[in-house]
Amino acid sequence: MPLSRRSLLIAAGAATPLLLARPAFAAPPDLATPEGWLAWAAAHRDGLGLVLDDGRGGRLAHRADAAQPLASAVKVLHLAAYQNAVASGALDPREDVRVGDWERYYVPTDGGAHPAALQHLGVPLDETGLHAADPERRVTLDDVVAVMIAFSDSAAPDLLRDRLGAHAVTRAGAARGWPDADVRSLCAEYLFLVLPETAPPAGIPQAARQEWGFALEQRHRDDPALRQEVLRRLQTQLPTYPEQIAWASTTASGSSARVAAVHRALSGEGGLARGHLEHALAGSLPPGVSGVGLKGGSLPHVLTCGISVRREDGSTGWGALLAHGEITAEQLSTGDPGLPLLMAIQDPRWRDRFATALGG
């Protein structure tokens, strides 16, 4: 089974029109296999950020501090902030959330993650297949967080950040080894792609871009007409794949070292966050492993994942892989960045092969 949940950009439920891969002269490596990742890493050393520690003295790092697009791997920060808020009593995981309020942050460019999340929670879809048929339906806050991780729902992190404040998310990251994290609005970033006229000026500082995005997110949240315009635009004016690639390079970034640090911390803390991260693989663990927590993501030309591996002997491995470069639509749909991480953490021979591919 796949080791990560990937989110591919779509429009109105159709993936193919929005993901148009360029013709290739040779078959690209299969990123659903470990050998494929070796080949990709060897050919794209300047596009890979990697850090891992097997918890037994074995380590590997390559461009570990280089900032690269994070895609949905950034959501581990929102999960950490949620854990802090529950621990302090600021949030109750049993709180009822109106689905219509959750969906005010939703831009249908997530590869069907939100509709899949709704169906998983037993919420019927409307005739478009994108939203809840009844916006008055209630789910628990912990349900929303669970599908943020399991299905990579991209409205959930904005709902959490808006409730808690951006500083709560950055503080949660800083306390776990990720200072000055980029916690801009995901809703706004998608709107910049779908409605390019709403995008901030080129070269604007990160802090100003973040505030611009928060203001646009609030407009989207509070203005049904804007949400309708987004749907109309997605049905009539799809961004080209080159436009998507250029846009993805401007989205939230961070380093593999920072992503890995948060996964390591949350694994050690236990509680709700570790439970959500480890849920997907709870029924298919390797021998001697008591838990594998991970959160991955994808955007055009981007595949990412952070991971932790708890073993029955008490040791813990951890790491992160951020890939950015020539990645086709097919590779995005099948590629699994968690696979090479898990293998390199668990098998020293595989880690050595990875190091060789990276020129080490």
Which range marks the domain in which residue 210 is found? 75-248
pLDDT of residue 26: 62
Instruction: Let me know whether 46 and 135 are in one domain.
Output: no
What total of structural domains would you count in the chain? 2
Listed residues 198, 232, 248: the one ending a domain: 248
Q: Is residue 1 part of a domain?
A: no
- Measured from the Cβ of residue 207, the count of other Cβ atoms closer than 10 Å reads 9
pTM, rounded to two decimals: 0.92
Instruction: Let me know whether 129 and 218 are in one domain.
Output: yes
User: CB of 149 within 8 A of CB of 56?
Assistant: no
Q: Is residue 10 part of a domain?
A: no
pLDDT digits (tens), the chain, 360 positions: 233 333 223 222 222 223 333 444 467 899 999 999 999 999 999 999 999 999 999 999 999 999 999 999 999 999 999 999 999 999 999 999 999 999 999 999 998 999 999 999 999 999 999 999 999 999 999 999 999 999 999 999 999 999 999 999 999 999 999 998 999 999 999 999 999 999 999 888 989 999 999 999 999 999 999 999 999 999 998 899 999 999 999 999 999 999 999 999 999 999 999 999 999 999 899 999 999 999 999 999 999 999 999 999 999 999 999 999 999 989 999 999 999 999 999 999 999 999 999 997
Q: Is residue 5 part of a domain?
A: no
Instruction: Let me know whether 216 and 348 are in one domain.
Output: no
pLDDT of residue 301: 97
Instruction: Let me know whether 176 and 100 are in one domain.
Output: yes
Listed residues 197, 222, 248: the one ending a domain: 248
